[in-house]
Amino acid sequence: MEFFSSLDSYDTIIDVRSPSEFAEDHVPGAINCPVLSDEERVRVGTIYKQVNAFEAKKIGAALVAKNIAEHLEAQFLDRPRNWKPLIYCWRGGNRSGAMAHILSQIGWHVQKLDGGYKKYRGEVNRALTAWPSRFTFQVVCGMTGSGKTRLLQMLESVGAQVLDLEKLAAHRGSVLGGLPSESQPSQKAFESHIWQLLRGFNPAQPVFVESESKKVGNLRVPEALMQKMRESSCLSVLLPHAQRVQLLMEDYAHFVCAPTSLASKLDCLTHLHGHEKIGRWKQMVSDGQMAVLVDELLVHHYDPSYLRSIERNFVQFHKAQTVEIGDISVESFRSAALSLHGTTCLSE
């Protein structure tokens, strides 16, 4: 834990890698001040390979100096004398060393992250292997449309510890679960998000998490976390069928507004239901019969799939605590969340 806690002792964490490296993943809370842009890295690397190291270093040094000067003027001139930044690059080498040297010469107490981002990733991998066993998870189960995500959101709002993997993955978990206005993060960034939440949780209090499969969209749930979830106590959320249809109509309103995108998604289910049924469902989309389609998808696809998988994958589901929610009003979910959070607090 020493490595992770030390990150919190700095005023600013500066990632000097290129924008594409930063976009793939970075230390949570870091700002990107690249000493070489993506294009400049390619340029310097090409000179290194095609000419020689000396010429590459000359060009690289000029670019690095120019970029650091721009960052200094744009972002750091207002920092006080006691400002304490942490700087890192890929391995803690030349790029972070150049920025650290200039800022330290000004008089700031600068620290360079030894081992750089590569060390950070190693520590995250080790943590995601070791940490899940420290926590007590309450796995929120329930058929599609039963309001698991809304319950998690409400649990978080009343002060419970919540690991919302679908939120972190920017995906609702099913074949239709992609978000229209948000792409999924990289696998590494997804793991960083999980790590950041776990490091802030209290192991003495339960963590609520949804009964996800091994993949959320294109992203894999870390193996040790998945194993711990599947061994953990379960909650079974029950919502009346008509309310489930209404909830899904609200949550997937983007398909109502853009029905052609839904029709193309249905093709992914052809191998399970055949061309005739998929054709009939597509006709429902064309005819605007969205509520009828949602009802059929629940009855013929999602509910049978859920029943086949839940007891097989979550070994304590057979003794799950039932959470009955009468409707999809905010008040109903808040009441359920307060009851669950109050119960878990009392049981500590």
Report the CATH number at residue 202: 3.40.50
CB 171 within 8 A of CB 184: yes
CB 337 within 8 A of CB 155: yes
Sign of the C-alpha dihedral computed for residues 314, 317, 322 and 328 taken in this order: positive
Are 187 and 74 members of one domain?
Answer: no
Number of domains in the chain: 2
Domain boundary among 90, 125, 160: 125
Are 191 and 78 members of one domain?
Answer: no
Enclosing domain of residue 7: 2-125
Residue type, 34: P
Are 208 and 338 members of one domain?
Answer: yes
Question: What is the C-alpha to C-alpha distance for residues 208 and 136, in angstroms, rounded to an integer?
Answer: 9
204 is a domain residue: yes
78 is a domain residue: yes
49 is a domain residue: yes
Are 6 and 41 members of one domain?
Answer: yes
314 is a domain residue: yes
Q: Identify the pLDDT of residue 265.
A: 82
Are 277 and 326 members of one domain?
Answer: yes
Are 163 and 225 members of one domain?
Answer: yes
Are 60 and 177 members of one domain?
Answer: no
Are 94 and 168 members of one domain?
Answer: no
- How remote is the C-alpha of 103 from its chain's centroid? 33
- Could you tell me the CA-to-CA distances from 196 to 41, 200, 242 in Å, in that order? 30, 7, 38
Are 66 and 142 members of one domain?
Answer: no
Q: What is the pLDDT along the chain (348 residues), one digit of tens a residue?
A: 455 667 889 999 999 999 999 999 999 999 999 999 999 999 999 999 999 999 999 999 999 999 999 999 999 999 999 999 999 999 999 999 999 999 999 999 999 999 999 999 999 999 999 999 999 999 999 999 999 999 999 999 999 999 999 999 999 866 666 666 678 999 999 999 999 999 999 999 999 999 999 999 999 999 999 999 999 999 999 999 999 999 999 988 877 777 777 887 888 899 999 999 999 999 998 888 989 999 999 999 999 999 999 989 999 999 999 999 999 999 999 999 999 997 655 444
Are 120 and 145 members of one domain?
Answer: no
130 is a domain residue: no
Are 81 and 169 members of one domain?
Answer: no
Q: Identify the pLDDT of residue 255.
A: 79
Question: What is the C-alpha to C-alpha distance for residues 302 and 273, in angstroms, rounded to an integer?
Answer: 12
54 is a domain residue: yes
199 is a domain residue: yes
Q: Identify the pLDDT of residue 64.
A: 97
Question: Catalytic residues, which ones?
Answer: 89
